[in-house]
Amino acid sequence: MNNQIILKLLKEAEESLSGEQIASKLDVSRTAVWKVIDVFRSQGYVIEGVQNRGYRLVSEPYLFSEEAIRSRLSDDWSDLYIRCFETVTSTNLFARVAVGEGKIPCLIVTNGQTGGRGRRGKSFYSPPHVGLYFSLAFSWDREEPPSLLTTMAAVAICRVLERELGVRADVKWVNDIFIDGKKVGGILTEAIAQRDLSDEKAIVIGVGLNLERPEQGYPAELREKVGALSDALDHTNMCIDGTAFAKDEEGNLTFNRNVLVAMMINELTCIMSELPGRDYLDEYRERCFIIDREVVLDDGRTIVPTGISDDGALTYCDADGKIREITSGEISLVSF
DSSP 160-205: HHHHHH----EEETTTEEEETTEEEEEEEEEEEEETTEEEEEEEEE
Strand partners, 253: 247
DSSP 119-174: GGG-B----TTSEEEEEEEEEE-SSS-TTHHHHHHHHHHHHHHHHHH----EEETT
In degrees, to the nearest 5, what angle opens at C-alpha 101 toward C-alphas 95 and 106?
A: 40
Structurally, what CATH architecture does the domain formed by 290-333 represent? Roll (2.30)
CATH top-level class for 66-282? alpha beta
Residue 233 has a pLDDT of 78
CATH 4.10.80.400 fits 2-59, yes or no: no
Write the DSSP symbol of residue 226: B
CA distances 260 to 149, 157, 317, Å, are 19, 9, 39
Distance CA 230, CA 252 (A): 10
Helix ranges (H only) for the chain are: 2-12, 19-26, 30-42, 66-70, 91-100, 148-165, 257-273, 280-287
Residue 86 has a pLDDT of 86
Query: How close are the terminal C-alpha atoms of the chain, in Å?
Result: 50
b/e map of 287-304 (b: 16 or more CB within 10 Å)? bbebbeeebeeeeeeebe
Distance CA 36, CA 24 (A): 15
Whether this prediction's pTM lies above 0.75 is answered by yes
Write the DSSP symbol of residue 308: E
In the chain, where the domains are located: 2-59, 66-282, 290-333
Distance CA 336, CA 329 (A): 17
* Pairing mode, strands 302-303 and 295-297: antiparallel
Mean pLDDT by 10 residues, the chain (336 residues): 78 84 87 86 77 80 82 94 92 94 95 77 77 95 88 97 91 94 93 71 94 86 88 66 62 80 97 95 96 90 93 91 87 71
* Pairing mode, strands 314-317 and 305-308: antiparallel
Distance CA 181, CA 305 (A): 18
